[in-house]
Structure 1
Amino acid sequence: MTKRKLPGKPLQVAARRRIVILGLVPVVALDVIGPAEVFTLANRLSGSHPPPYILDLVCSGSDLNLQSETGIALTAHRTLEQERRSSKPIDTLVVTAGFSPEQSLDRTAIEWIRTRSRTVKRVCSICVGAFALADAGLLDGRRATTHWGMARRLAELYPAVRVDANPIWIKDGNVYTSAGISAGIDLALALVGEDLGSDIALEIAKNLVLFLQRPGGQAQFSVSLQAQHGLSSKLEELRAWITEHLHTDLTVEVLADKSATSVRTLIRVFEREFGTTPAKYVEEARLEAVCRALELGGRSLEEIARRCGYRSVDVLRKAFARRLGISPKEYSQRFSVASEEA
């Protein structure tokens, strides 16, 4: 790993930001280590004295031994009880947990999160840490995400939360939620980008041997791959037909006619099998095709829009920005084969 600092003058940091990562035992180790590495690298690469971040790992248990689901223990800087008695300000609170979130929802920790959130600049969750934020009431009325495999459970337990299982991270006000495992690194990079600028965030990504930064709106997984699991032959045929006919008018009536069923039945099947509506599935399939075309390069945006079923480039740009949070041009610069080779 390189340790070179960014060229030019050291960053001017107005005040050090204290990042508190709260581990609700047992944690997913990478949910803790991934973001911690990002903030640590920001300190190394910033060139500022003192460095911009103070990083504290807090364990929800009775001692500093923060157990992880791998069986490998992490050592916290302090216990939650010690943190409760502390008067140190918190800039960013990052909540991590394990894959059985209901077992991690210690009432003392939840109440502390609820109370402390009133005085912190940003409140974040990694993966199923979103359950803790939801239980504390911080996600009520907000759009939020979590690991795709736990999204339905989050929506069932906390109906006031607008759960979106697709993005790798979401910002709603000063509350940030992220998807599973590696998405915590993407969220931490975004936070550093907000604080210190995109240049240092990109430099951190390179040091971590990541392919730059993934935008928050990037999907957690491929809609095509998701759709291939355990489908009936009839529905699999429709899925394949949609993929091959993205350039055509794919209304729900057209899809129902193609599958020889009623609109009502088709909507019910899509909700059951894909967890979404036919219209939203088609939109996801189109955007995924746009992403693939941008990654491969060699086609104009006008041609991509036509091939993927968009009436105009402007309609494509708006749909793309709404879903991924960046423009097609920015996506191409980050992810295209041509950009990688350059």
Structure 2
Amino acid sequence: MHPDRTTPLTFGMLVFDEVEVLDLGGPFEVFSTAGRLARTADDQPLLRVRTVAATRHPVRARGGLRIVADHTLDEDPPFDVLVIPGGVTTAVEADADVVAWLARRRRTAALTFSICTGAFLLAATGALDGRPATTHWEDQEELARRHPEVRVRTDVRWVDDGDIVTSAGISAGIDAALHIVGRLFDEELARRTARQMEYTWTR
């Protein structure tokens, strides 16, 4: 475990209408499961996930799953890692308030993690300019066309570029989330988390 990590690490996850369920649920399960396995000295989860939405209204994910977020953008909760799942992101990209919030919180987060088409939201903030990134294989050409300043990778399941990690589509977010657990804590916790989930981790 990271030697100076003695207080819980909080993951702030954006949710929005038409978010992809596994883009959201896969990393959520990884981080929350790791938090059940790794505890603080007073037996609190060392990893916590908080969801954030534009409003208090329930979010309808792809397929109809309804989600009520823990916080709104206006509440602006504190967190250490910003998580941006994908889905149908067109309306979110056009929402200047959400993009501005992402841009600001990306600068203050220790790490930003996008899954699938969440890369489009991250690219909209300018955070991927001149940097390598990936997204779902169906959307890689569009990301390159709409954001030519991004160095789109087509040969990997995720890209770790220091303070930004981007992953390919849907289930690749689980692999990248396990990589993040291994990077922020240790490989043993990542392996234990994958085993607890009965998931075969593709590294």
Give the TM-score normalised by structure 1. Answer: 0.56
Q: Distance in 2 between matches of 1:108 and 1:39?
A: 27
1:46 aligned partner: 38
1:53 positional shift? 1.6
1:24 positional shift? 3.1
1:134 aligned partner: 123
1:165 positional shift? 2.0
Distance of aligned partners of 1:119 and 1:12 in 2 relative to their CA distance in 1, 3 Å threshold: closer
**1:168-187 alignment runs, 5 A limit:** 168-187=157-176
RMSD: 1.8
Q: Distance in 1 between matches of 2:4 and 2:83?
A: 24
Opposite residue 185 of structure 2, the aligned amino acid is L
1:35 aligned partner: 27
SS in 1 for 2:129: coil
Q: Distance in 1 between matches of 2:120 and 2:4?
A: 36
1:195 positional shift? 2.0
**Greater helix share, structure number:** 1
2:61 aligned partner: 68
Paired residue total: 199
Select the structure of larger CA radius of gyration: 1
Distance of aligned partners of 1:12 and 1:112 in 2 relative to their CA distance in 1, 3 Å threshold: closer
Opposite residue 20 of structure 1, the aligned amino acid is G
Distance of aligned partners of 1:97 and 1:80 in 2 relative to their CA distance in 1, 3 Å threshold: farther
2:17 aligned partner: 25
Q: Distance in 2 between matches of 1:187 and 1:75?
A: 25
Q: Distance in 1 between matches of 2:99 and 2:62?
A: 20
- Which of 165, 179, 191 is the aligned partner of 1:190? 179
2:104 aligned partner: 115
1:194 positional shift? 1.3
Q: Percent identity?
A: 35
1:36 positional shift? 0.8
2:71 aligned partner: 78
**1:207-222 alignment runs, 5 A limit:** 207-211=196-200, 213-215=201-203
Q: Distance in 2 between matches of 1:140 and 1:24?
A: 24
Tell me, which stretches of 5 or more residues in structure 2 are unaligned?
A: none
Tell me, which stretches of 5 or more residues in structure 1 are unaligned?
A: 1-10, 216-342
1:203 positional shift? 1.1
1:47 positional shift? 4.0
Distance of aligned partners of 1:39 and 1:64 in 2 relative to their CA distance in 1, 3 Å threshold: farther
Native 8 Å contact 1:25 1:97 kept in 2 = no
Q: Distance in 1 between matches of 2:9 and 2:97?
A: 25
1:151 positional shift? 0.4
Q: Distance in 2 between matches of 1:103 and 1:214?
A: 32
SS in 1 for 2:113: strand
Opposite residue 63 of structure 2, the aligned amino acid is T
Give the TM-score normalised by structure 2. Answer: 0.92
* Structure 1 residue runs of 4 or more that deviate by more than 6 Å after TM superposition: none
Native 8 Å contact 1:97 1:104 kept in 2 = no
SS in 2 for 1:82: coil
